[in-house]
Amino acid sequence: MLAGMTIALGATDVKAAEQFSWPAFFGPFHMIVLHFPIGFLTLTVLLELRAMLKPERNSRRAVAFALPITTATALVTVALGWMRAGAGEFDEHLLAWHRMAGIGVLFFCFFAWLVHRAFQQVPDSSIFRFGYRGLLLAAFVCLSLAGHFGGNLTHGSGFLTLNAPPALKRLLAGPPAESTAVKPAAGGTLYTKTVQPAFAKKCYSCHGPEKQKGKFRLDLREAILKGGDSGEPVVTPGDLEKSRLLYHVLLPRDHDDAMPPKGKEPLSPEEIVAVGQWILSGAKFD
C-alpha cells in the first residue's frame, strides 16, 4: 500500500511542477514587502506628529515626501497579498478581515496623500488639515488590524502568547473555543481522550480552525472525510489501508510528506496506535 501511494504522490509532484504560476511565485514576497508600508506609515505618522508640534514648512514637506511612498508600498503589498491568498490555505473568515484592513490601509493612505496635496495648496484650510489627519489615523488603525489578522493567519492566534506566563495565558485565552476544547478525560471516548488532544497539540496549528495547509482541516469530521488538496478522503472509517492520514504520520521523519512536517513534534507511538484504533472504530467525533 505504501509503495502504491509513493508512486501516486510522485505523480502529484510532477503535476505540481508543471503547474507553474507567476502569482504563486510572487505571492510569498508579500511577507517581505509588507514591512515597507508598516515602516513608512509609522514614519509618516511620526512626521505628522512633529508637524503638529512644529507647524513649519519643512515638517509639511517631509510628510508630503513620505505619503506617496507609503501609498506605493501599500499598493504593492496589497497586490502581492492578493496573489498570496490565491494559494487558498487560509481560513476564509480571518482572511476576509485581513484583506479588508489591508485594502483600508491603501485606500486611506491614497486619500490622505490627495488631501495633503490640497492642503499644501491651501495651507490655512482647516478642513484639509483635519481631513488628511483623519485619513492618516484611519490608515494607521487599518494597519494595526491588518497586522493583527495577518499575524493570526500565519502563526495562529496563540503565537504571541505562546511563552507567556501561565496566568497571563489563562487571562487572555478566556473559555476554550468549541472545536478545540479538550473535554475532561473522565468518561471520555478514545477520540476525546487521546486522538483529539494529540491533533490539537500537533496538527491544528496548520490544519485547524485558523489555518488550513494543503486546504485540509482536522478538527471537523466532514473535512477529514473529504480530504484536502488531493480531493481524496484522508480517513475512510473502518479501513486503515484507505486512510492516508495514517500513512502520513507513519512516514520516516525526514520524508517530504511526513506529518507533522520535519522539525515539528511528531505523534508518539501511543498516539498513532490510538489514531489507528479510532479509524477502525469508525472515526467518530464523540
Q: Which residues here bind ligand HEC, judged by CB under 6 A?
A: 202-203, 205-207, 213-214, 216, 227-230, 234, 244-245, 248-249, 259-261, 264, 267
- Specify the residue, 90 or 108, whose C-beta has the smaller distance to ligand HEC: 90
Q: Taking every pair of C-alpha atoms in the chain, what is the biggest distance, in angstroms?
A: 78
- Specify the residue, 44 or 196, whose C-beta has the smaller distance to ligand HEC: 196
With beta carbons less than 8 A apart as the criterion, state whether 177 and 196 touch.
no
- For cell 488603525, name the residue: 141
- Specify the residue, 46 or 225, whose C-beta has the smaller distance to ligand HEC: 225
- Specify the residue, 56 or 232, whose C-beta has the smaller distance to ligand HEC: 232
Q: Strands (DSSP E) along 84-148, which ranges?
A: none
Whole-number minimum distance, CB 203 to ligand HEC, in Å?
3
Whole-number minimum distance, CB 220 to ligand HEC, in Å?
14
- Specify the residue, 148 or 155, whose C-beta has the smaller distance to ligand HEC: 155
SS3 of the chain: CHHHHHHHHHHHHHHHHHCCCHHHHHHHHHHHHCHHHHHHHHHHHHHHHHHHHCCCHHHHHHHHHHHHHHHHHHHHHHHHHHHHHCCCCECHHHHHHHHHHHHHHHHHHHHHHHHHHHHHHCCCCHHHHHHHHHHHHHHHHHHHHHHHHHHHHHHCCCCCCCCCCHHHHHHHHCCCCCCCCCCCCCCCCHHHHHHHHHHHHHCHHHHCCCEEHHHCCCCCHHHHHHCCCCCCCCCECCECCCCHHHHHHHCCCCCCCCCCCCCCCCCCHHHHHHHHHHHHCCCCCC
- Specify the residue, 115 or 246, whose C-beta has the smaller distance to ligand HEC: 246
State the Cα–Cα distance between residues 190 and 286, nearest whole angstrom.
Answer: 9
Whole-number minimum distance, CB 67 to ligand HEC, in Å?
39
Whole-number minimum distance, CB 235 to ligand HEC, in Å?
8
With beta carbons less than 8 A apart as the criterion, state whether 49 and 26 touch.
no
- Specify the residue, 5 or 72, whose C-beta has the smaller distance to ligand HEC: 5
Whole-number minimum distance, CB 113 to ligand HEC, in Å?
39
- Specify the residue, 205 or 236, whose C-beta has the smaller distance to ligand HEC: 205
